[in-house]
A and B are shown apart, each in its own frame.
Chain A
Amino acid sequence: MTDITAEPGSSAPLGALGPDAQVAVAVASRATPTRWRLLLRRPTFLVGAGILLFWVVCAIFGHLIAPFNPLAQQLLSANTAPSGAHWFGTDPLGRDVLSRVIVGARDILIITPLATVLGTVLGTALGLAMGYFGGTFDLVVGRIVEAVLALPFVIIAFLFVVAVGSSTVMVIIVIGFVFTPLIARTVRAAVLAERHLDYLSSARLLGENPARIMFAEILPNIMPAILVEFTVRLGYAVFAVATLSFLGFGPPPPTPDWGSDIAADYSGLLAGYWWQTLFPALAIASLVTAVNLITDSVEQVLSS
């Protein structure tokens, strides 16, 4: 009899892990459906993606969808409550709130992903270096990261924006830079979790250089953590952009922008003009929730 020692079935090490080993074996012996498909099956993902898609469409095609010109002032119909003509009412300058909400999606949807990508790329590189090299480098850079984290990022962000201006590009760069230490911290932790694994020793024994080890060996294994971190930061980016524009660092008027509009109109609350602030606020809330639902589903799929 030939020595057929291929054993695809048994995979648990000695000293049995118990019933989980058998369940694991069951899982391993069938082809796992791709992660995309798993994602698409989840209702939370679908709802979140749906909302996000809606706003993306608004951002791109806003001017075509909006019923009124968001910049058109009609002082005679200023501050009217929601009605058949103006579903979301009008603001103090008579502009249609619905149109402003729809078009206002653009800025936030341009800045947010770009800033997050910037932060993720830089943060990953930094986190990889900190985790891999360790030692003094990690200690010193770690202190700097902690110091930056000690200052609330809203404050740092607006300090920088005050200093260098609030153009779209600047806001992207500032938020990206502020995210870098946050993401670096998570990536570093993920790298540290890999460090004791022997494949890294094997790579060293092949004479691989540090760049190769970081990017070709470690990085593929921590991608799930990075992806989750990316989606989480996306949510925080929406938060940051909205807050910055609320504090006055958004696009200059009369460009429609959710945060700026709220800042401009919220004194109207005392007069009872609730729709001018509520609808942009709900828009922000819905976008944030959408991103969070996506984050949640991505996390669930990647951890199973």
Chain B
Amino acid sequence: MATFLLRRLGLMILTLWIVSLIVFFAGQILPGDPGRAILGPFAAKSAVQALDTQLGVNRPLLTRYLSWIGGLLHGNMGTSYTYRTAVEPFIRAALINSVKLAVLAFVIVVPLGIIGGVIAALYAGRAVDRIISVTGLSLATVPEFVSGIVLIVVFGVTLKVLPVTAAAGAGAGDLSQFRHLILPAIPLVFVLFGYIARMARAGTIESLNSDYARTAVLKGLPRATMIRRHVLRNSLLPTITVIATQTGYLIGGLVVVETLFNYQGIGNLIFKAAGAKDFTMLEAGVLIIGVVYVLATLAADLLLIALNPRLRIGAQND
């Protein structure tokens, strides 16, 4: 068991390292000169070059990479070209905002998705199932900005029920913050619902058709008990992994949603940084996202092991 965990951790670190490589080198090929970006288009060339040297832009690639990584491991994410101050507080604030939004989305979509999927499975092949399945599939690939706009038009502008900006304003109470986050959370819910429902459905159907479900029925258990006690336990295991891997999509969706609703989350931060060619901010932001995703996958794996007895012991024989 311990070896298995160590191995898993090792692979994760390897993945994170590759993420850092990708982010760093992607940043390197982005066009633009940091010195120029900071000083503006009218600054003197010599000043730009001096700043570049000061920023260490001309050092060899490897040195730059190592110093970047070194800085990161110490919590130093570099200096923003746009704001001329440390990147780290921006990232932290933005991350917290995004987490609020993401958590809200998850809290809505996970139970909804699971219930939808299970119901679709219980009535598999019938109208309810097709409706849930196709709806889920459709909603999943309607881009967030599309659903976001439709929602804004319907609820914000026409019906004027919910606020259309996500930021509640400084010092707003929790409930008010919550109200503001509902509309932006919904496109995220749409994107995730289909996938979660589909996994839950597939898992439940497989469970229902299994030999052990048959055993439970032939023991004389009422159907509801059989489903609750025997089927659900097994059908939801694959759904858990899916939920974790969906964090990737969620974060991607954050970029669009936060831009649309003008919310100061990490997606918005990255987008603005890209536009402003603030590469330090950009790289730090993208890296953080990568780290969050990898950690989420690890958490899902651990959760899966904790819940699935076969893996728990199987891991020992791995």
Contacts and interface: CB of A to CB of B under 8 A. Distances in A.
Q: Do chains A and B touch in the complex (CB under 8 A)?
A: yes
A292 B14 contact: no
B22 interface: yes
A152 B248 contact: yes
B79 interface: no
B138 interface: yes
Contacts, number: 147
Interface of B: 11, 14-16, 18-19, 21-23, 26, 29-31, 130, 133-134, 137-138, 140-147, 149-150, 152-153, 156-158, 245, 248-249, 251-253, 255-256, 259-260, 270-271, 274, 286, 289-290, 293-294, 297
A277 B286 CA distance: 30
8 contacts: A143-B11, A146-B294, A149-B293, A150-B15, A154-B256, A243-B144, A246-B145, A266-B260
What are the 7 A-B residue pairs with the smallest beta carbon separation, nearest first? A152-B252, A147-B18, A235-B141, A154-B252, A150-B293, A150-B290, A292-B137
A59 interface: no
Given A44-B130, A164-B29, A292-B134, 10 more contacts: A147-B18, A150-B19, A151-B290, A152-B251, A156-B26, A246-B143, A259-B145, A277-B149, A278-B150, A285-B138
Contact of B14 (A143, A152, A246): A143
Contacts of A242: 143, 145-146
B141 A146 contact: no
A155 B138 contact: no
Contact of B142 (A163, A239, A270): A239
Nearest to B256: A243
A209 B13 CA distance: 35
Nearest to B22: A147
B289 A262 contact: no
B31 to A, nearest CB: 7
Contacts of B146: 242, 262, 281, 284-285
B143 A247 contact: no
Interface in A43-83: 44
B286 A151 contact: yes
Contacts of A270: 157
A106 B134 CA distance: 26
Contacts of B15: 143, 146-147, 150
A269 B157 contact: yes
Given A44-B134, A150-B248, A247-B271, A143 B141 contact: no
A271 B22 CA distance: 43
A118 interface: no
A184 interface: no
Given A147-B15, A150-B290, A288 B149 contact: no
Nearest to B291: A150
B298 to A, nearest CB: 11
Contacts of A164: 29
A288 B141 contact: yes
Contacts of A156: 26
A291 interface: yes
Interface in A133-166: 139, 143-144, 146-156, 158-160, 162-164
A177 interface: no
A295 interface: yes
Contact of A148 (B22, B253, B274): B22
Nearest to A139: B11
A185 B252 CA distance: 19
A154 B153 CA distance: 24
B244 to A, nearest CB: 12
A288 B252 contact: no
B143 A155 contact: no
A88 B15 CA distance: 49
Contacts of B294: 146, 150
A179 B273 CA distance: 25
Contacts of B26: 156, 159-160, 163
A272 interface: yes
